[in-house]
């Protein structure tokens, strides 16, 4: 029989459920380290983004300890699924890149939903590019295209995973120029660079920021970049558009959290990233590193990602990349 004690117990339970998340949020972010999952190997574009921004975010969150953990695999799918399934307590963040996070679900089943992540901040917007080893006998983009027209699939190109922006750069060039590469996917940009320097591939498709240091070191030559305009980081490198190939491909790199993060914690994270990116010291460091910084925050970032997702849906209908 239900009596007064049952109602008291029920009331306490309801009160606990109602105040639990708020009480949990009170101890954030000092109860334990915040894990920033990077779903790519060390050294790649998302890894570089995370290591650049994290010290400045920590300054905005007194007592916080943000730890970067690389969980590569399946073109970032493994790390994203891990982060998506993590507890929504503000202690797990995920470094992501668009369009890869949206294109993977076209290719195979995934255990995450792009529209359900808690969006924090976009940090960089990085055009695609293709490059050869400095000693390569491929002189420039016209020479590369001529070789492929003369002998389809005679030139190998490596990218960071099926459906990623580097893969899309390759597909767009093949379609625009009417050529066919021997396409080889890798698990991140660092292995692509290693393969290029080792002579295992002829061409690499990465992002402009990932080529800046190798160009400075004299180990690669960038043939073309996929921005609307030449990047300030590589001003001597022509765009594909300048050669008559009218396409633009790039990578957004940012930070999200699992679905269901309490609104107050999400707001604090968004504010911390925004303040970090407005920090004069961060801006100076990013400028020295030629980092393509472009801030979008919270719902603005989410709308941008979902807008790209809608465009990719249309692209998939006419030119599905799973078979290429």
What is the mean pLDDT of the segment spanning 173-182? 94
DSSP 239: B
pLDDT at 232: 85
Q: How far is CA 137 from CA 158, 202, 223, in A?
A: 17, 10, 12
In terms of Cβ atoms closer than 10 Å to its own Cβ (0-12, 13-18, 19+), residue 10 is: exposed
User: What digits encode the pLDDT tens for the residues 195-223?
Assistant: 999 999 999 999 998 898 899 999 999 99
What percent of the chain is modeled with pLDDT above 90? 68
* Cα–Cα distance, 280 to 315 (Å, whole number): 39
Collapse the DSSP code of 38 into the 3-class scheme (helix H, G, I; strand E, B; otherwise coil) and give the result.
strand
Adjacent-strand bridge partners of 68: 36
Q: Decide if pLDDT at 260 tops 90.
A: yes
Judge contact between 255 and 120, C-beta under 8 A. Answer: yes
pLDDT at 140: 97
pLDDT at 3: 46
User: What digits encode the pLDDT tens for the residues 10-68?
Assistant: 343 444 444 444 444 679 999 999 999 999 989 888 999 999 999 999 999 999 999 99
Q: Name which of 152, 206, 158, 205 is nearest 177 in CA terms.
A: 152
Q: Is the peptide bond preceding residue 99 cis, with omega within 30 degrees of 0?
A: yes
> Residues 212, 141, 234, CA angle at the centre, nearest 5°?
20
Judge contact between 105 and 76, C-beta under 8 A. Answer: no
Burial 84-101 (b: 16+ CB within 10 A, else e): bebebbbbbbbbbbbbbb
pLDDT at 319: 72
Q: Domains in the chain and their CATH numbers?
A: 31-125+251-323 (3.40.190.150), 127-249 (3.40.190.10)
Provide the H-helix boundaries in 151-251.
165-177, 189-197, 208-217
| The model's pTM | 0.73
Range of lowest pLDDT (151-160, 241-250, 279-288, 295-304): 241-250
Phi, psi for residue 169 in degrees, rounded to 5:
-60, -45
Q: What is the CA radius of gyration of the chain?
A: 22
* Cα–Cα distance, 166 to 172 (Å, whole number): 10
In terms of Cβ atoms closer than 10 Å to its own Cβ (0-12, 13-18, 19+), residue 165 is: buried
């Amino acid at each position: 029989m239900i009596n007064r004690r049952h109602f008291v117990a029920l009331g306490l339970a309801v009160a606990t459920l109602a105040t639990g998340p708020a009480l949990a949020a009170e101890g954030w972010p000092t109860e334990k380290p915040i894990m920033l999952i990077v779903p790519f190997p060390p050294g790649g574009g998302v890894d570089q983004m995370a290591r650049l921004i994290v010290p400045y975010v920590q300054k905005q969150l007194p007592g916080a300890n943000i730890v970067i953990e690389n969980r590569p695999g399946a073109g970032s799918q493994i790390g994203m699924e891990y982060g998506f399934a993590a507890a929504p307590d503000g202690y797990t963040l995920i470094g992501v890149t668009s369009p890869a996070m949206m294109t993977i679900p076209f290719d195979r089943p995934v255990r995450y939903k792009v529209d359900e992540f808690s969006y924090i901040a976009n940090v960089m917007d990085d055009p695609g590019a293709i490059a050869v080893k400095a000693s390569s006998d491929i002189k420039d983009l016209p020479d590369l295209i001529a070789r492929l027209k003369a002998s389809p699939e005679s030139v190998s190109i490596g990218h960071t995973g099926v459906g990623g922006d580097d893969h899309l750069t390759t597909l767009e060039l093949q379609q625009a120029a009417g050529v066919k590469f021997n396409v080889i996917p890798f698990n991140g940009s660092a292995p692509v660079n290693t393969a290029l320097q080792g002579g295992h591939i002829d061409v690499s498709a990465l992002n402009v920021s990932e080529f800046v240091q190798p160009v400075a070191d004299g180990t690669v030559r960038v043939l073309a970049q996929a921005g609307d305009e030449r990047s300030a980081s590589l001003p001597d490198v022509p765009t594909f558009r300048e050669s008559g190939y009218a396409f633009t491909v790039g990578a957004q790199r940012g930070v999200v959290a699992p679905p269901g993060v309490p609104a107050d914690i999400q707001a604090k994270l968004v504010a911390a990233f925004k303040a970090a990116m407005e920090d004069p010291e961060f801006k100076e460091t990013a400028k020295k590193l030629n980092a393509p910084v472009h801030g979008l925050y919270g719902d603005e970032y989410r709308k941008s990602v979902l807008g790209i997702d809608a465009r990719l849906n249309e692209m998939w209908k006419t030119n599905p990349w799973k078979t290429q």
